[in-house]
Structures are given as structure tokens and as C-alpha cells.
Structure 1
Amino acid sequence: MWSYITSIFGYFFKLQEDEGREKLLIEELIDLKLELEREEFHNQNIENKVQESSQQSECFQRTGFVTHCGESYILIDGSFYFDTSACSFNLNVNDKILYLGYNNSNEELVIVRILQNEGIGWENEDDSEEQRFDVINHIIVGIVDCREDRNVFIQGGDLKFNLDDVQGTFIPIAGDWLEMQCSIQKNDEKLTDINMTQVLQVTHFRPLRTKIKSGTVTEWSGKVGIIDNQIYFDSSTFIETFIPQVGAKIKYLRLIFNAMGLPQPKIGTVEEFQGQERPIILITTVRSTESLIQQDIKYTLGFVNSPKRLNVAITRAQISMILFCNPHLLSTDSLWNEVIMNAVNNNRYMGCYFPIEEK
């Protein structure tokens, strides 16, 4: 009788416990959904404000003279202050320099960076040069090098920003990938060749959660175009068989390299690399479903039971080859099994468990 009573109590209490967990899970999901909606709304508002405020702005490249050198700053032409903590140039008094700057909303001169040190000059030389550029909004991708107090430094140049001057949803640390909304110096001659030296100001940042992004083609001239009104690209960005159209929804990886100022990688099938070499080759063998292997073999698809494709794939790298695969599936092919075992035996294997014994 006692066991019967306890079982009934156990049943009802367990039921209540499950209901409580279910209710808690629903509440957590609702909170998460609201947080994501707030973040998306917050980001959209920021981007709209940025576009409105920067649309008609101008910047310039101008020559000047270093008139004073401090411990981590210089004065240009006797009155313009510039922080040299992230500057890569060795600057001395009387050096003639070329700098990038703009006038802010208060018509105050803001010097962004030193572009060139032309060496010793004379202050009384009447040869000050200036070239003006339009300002556009663009997304730059970068990796946080370090953070000192509220200042965030980005790898690969002198780009930095203060957390008090930008809009963001978190505090970044070293190693974080950031997608940064920036005001950019527009260069009509190299519209799609944008790098960090053209950044005037970081206005907003958020974490880059994926290297594959999606967007909408908003402009396309046949040679150059714009995605989401803020990412410029040219025809070399896409695979040869793709023709962009205005309004098309696309996913892109190569534009990440554009945004980081890196050269475009070649992306294609193994056959496209026949007779070519590259310093570093990344191979993905695509399949991870055993039921499709026989279909691949029948129609000569994929990598299993295809020694010629394997030979081309693993002989293209000059320095390093990185293979992404399902080892349990790929090792059913005796040749690929030797490739995988070679990596295992030389401590070059990383990932899921794979038996050491050769198959």
C-alpha cells in the first residue's frame, strides 16, 4: 500500500516538475527571442542613423609639417593634434607628411592617420596639397588585436576605436571577429578595393558569428555592384557561372576577404585546379551521408572510388593542405584511408574520434 501511495506521489510530483521545466524553457526561449529582436532593432536603427549622418560627408588627404613631437602625439602645422600610439611611421620635427582627415559636425579638423612621411621639409614652403574624396558607408571585417581600457585595436594596421564613441552590443576581447560599420574614404578609381587605411571612423560593430553572410544585390552595373547598399563588389568576387541581378538574394564568402583587405582566394571544384598550384589548399570532401556513397560511385561524383580526383586534390598544395571530411565515411576508400592514417600517425589529425588501427 505504501509503495502504491509513493508511486502516485512520485508520478504527480514528476509531472509538476516536468511542467515546471517546460514552463521555464518556454520563458527562456521567449526571453531569448525578445533579446534577439531588440538587438536586430537596435542594429537597424544604428545603421539607418549612420547612413543618414554620413551620406553627404567629405574627407581629404592633405600635406602638413610636424611642428612638435610628444611622447605619444605630434602637432601638425602648429595646432592640429594627432595621437601616434597606433602610428607605424617614425616622425620627427620638420617632417613633411601626408595625412587623412575630415571635418566633424562642429567643423573641427579630425586627423585619422598618417599616410606617408616625405622626410624633412621646410615649414615656409608654399606647396601644401589637398585632395578631396566622398565618404561612403561600408562594412569592414577585422580581428581584435587587443583592448586597452576603452580602446580597441584591430589587427593588420592602425585601425582603432573607443568604445565610448561607437555603438555595440558587447565588449570585445583579443581574438574576436568583428563586423564593423564604418565611414570610408571613397576611391572612384578602386571602388571595390577597400581596405582599413580608408576607414575614417567606426560607427557600429557587432560580432561576426559566421564567415558566410547573406544579403541582397541592390546595384549591379555589369562590372561592379553593391550588396545591401553598403558592400561593394566586382565580377571577380563570384564564381564564373553566377551572374548577379538586382534584388537577388545571395550568400557570400569571398566578400569577407574584400572587407579585410585580403586577396581573393580561388574557390572551385578539384577539376578547376588541374595543372595549378597554390601555397595553401583547403579541401572539403562534401559527403557525410553513407546512403549516398553508392550513388556517387555510380555517377562518378564525390571523392570515394575516384583515384584521379584524389591525385589532383592532394597534389595542388605547395606548403600545406587542410582536409575537411567525415573520416569514418571517407576511409571506406582504401586510398583516402591511407591519407587519413598518415595524418593520424604524424599527429596531424584533429576532430572526431578515429580508430588508430589501419583498415
Structure 2
Amino acid sequence: MEIGISTFLEATPHPVTGERVNHAERLRHAVEEIVVADQAGLDVYGIGEHHRSDYAGSAPAVVLAAAASMTERIRLTSAVTVLSSDDPVRVYQEFATLDGISNGRAEIMAGRGSFIESFPLFGYDLEHYDALFEEKLELLLKVRASEKVTWRGGHRPAIHNLGVYPRAVQHPLPVWIASGGNPESAARAGMLGLPIAFAIIGGMPERFAPLVELYKRAAAKAGHDVNKLHIATHSHGFVADTTEAAAEAFFLPTQAQMNVIGRERGWGQPYDRDTYDAARSLRGALYVGDPEYVAEKIVLLRKNLGVTRFFLHVNVGTMPHREVLRAIELLGTKVAPIVHRELARIEGSE
């Protein structure tokens, strides 16, 4: 069971003071977070790609590379790369470069993108949303499989027996499929035998169990060893020394950011304290509390979904940097050991 951090490099105004972390400062904070996560013993750190003013993460591979030479063991991944609006050859080159700098610790998490700003920015038509992802995923997997590539599609110029360099240290370079709960994405990942990451930011995580089963059935039907599949989840949360402190620190930034997104997407119902507190319950999708409580929720997630990796998304809205670093430290030094001990006890007795 791997445990790590995910972030979109939030740079939103603080809901109380109105102070805004500028993009340059947020990027430097991210490098420090990765170093602290590595020192705390966490397994992975992921940065999501976005192209809007309230996030600084438009180039995840660059930020991850900045921390690669300052860390020793932590894996470094996008969370996610919006593959539909990017060039798969360039994506492979960037993460193969990161893989070389980090000596084999890079990963790509590829998704279609729940935020769509990159499509008009890079000249792509949203009418081709699904077709773009399918085609570009096919090319990315071809590039990672072979130094010389021959390929033809409908949305990108063809490649005729050309080499792609540098080659990654890892062969193959890990590529995950990221999904917000789309059955087609789960089935596609299973058919291809690729690891999958589910974003679970609302409702009860156990409701994703049918998607996990769909993923496994598709993998088995395609001839892949189900026992070797990897499943990750990504959920919002925060760890502090007490559950009360965690709940208070995380509420206002979370409320502010969720209401911004809610207005953009027409969710209608404002995000309030009752919604927040319900999500913090044991079966809810928010992992907010002291180390023991957060660990209990991760163990329950493992029981219900069989996950092999858990991402805690700490910065939903702008949080004080020192509090974020403390949360990362607690996740690595307190939460993860509890989870590992409890899973060893439970699964060792089965």
C-alpha cells in the first residue's frame, strides 16, 4: 500500500485574509513539499496539469524535475497529464527526462481532463474530446514501447520510423489511466492492463467498487494478471495533530474553492459546513483528521476497493505553507506506519 500527496499547485486567495500566493512562490513551495514528503517516507508525489490563474501547475514535469535531484526515493508523477490536448511524443520525452534525472522514479498519469482550459489554449476542438484521448493514448503507449515509432492517426501528423529520445530508465515507463468515475475509462484501463487512479472527491468511496470490478473483469478478459493490477485513489484531505484542528484549518479554503468550481459547473447547491462535516465521516470522501482517524479511513478504503496506492490532496484551496508541510510530515511519519501495521495484521490473518 503506497501513500502519497497530490496537488494542483493551488494559488487562490486565502478566504479570510485575501492574501494570494503568487505562482513563483507556489512553485518553490511545491519543491519544498516534495523534499519533505521524501524525508517523511511517503511513496509518491503527484502534480495535476491545469491552465488557469488559480493553479500554478501547467508544467508538472518541470516542477518534479526541480525536486528530483534533491530527493532519494519518492516517485514523481503527473496527476494528471491532460493527454488529449498535449503531444504524446513530447509527454514521453519530458517524463523520460525526469526519469533519467530521478534515476527511474518518474510516472505519467494520463487523463482526458475534467478542466477544459487546455483545449482552446492549444487549438483542440472539444467535440473531439474522447477521440483525442483514445488516439493519443495509443501513440503514447507505442512511443514508450519502442525507440523507433511508425504511427498514423486522425488528429496528429503521422510518424514514419522515427526515434524518440531520451529513452526512460524504466522500461516501460509507468503510465496510469486517471478517471473521475467513467466506466469506459475503467474498462479501457483494464483492457490495456494499465494501472488506474480514481478521483473520489464526493459521496462514499465504496460506491466505486463496481468500477473496480469492471476494471478487473476487462483486464482478465484481455488476458492480464488481475493480481498484478494497481489501483489508486485521489481524495481531498488534511492531517493535523488533532481532528478538531484539521477540520477547522481545512474547511474555509475547501469551501471557497469548491464553491468556485461549483459555480463554474452548475452544481447549484453551495458547499457548506454540513456538507463538509458529512464528507469527513468515516464513510465519506474527505480524509480530514488526526493521524489515527485518517489512517482508519485509508484502511477502510483498502478493504472496500482493494487500492494499492492512496493520494491525499492537501491543498484544495490555499493553505498556510507551514501547515501543509506539517500535514505531509504527519502523513508520512504517523499515518502511513499505522496503515501499514493495520493492513499487515488484517491481511496477514486472512
TM-score, normalising length: structure 1: 0.24
Structure that is richer in strand per residue:
1
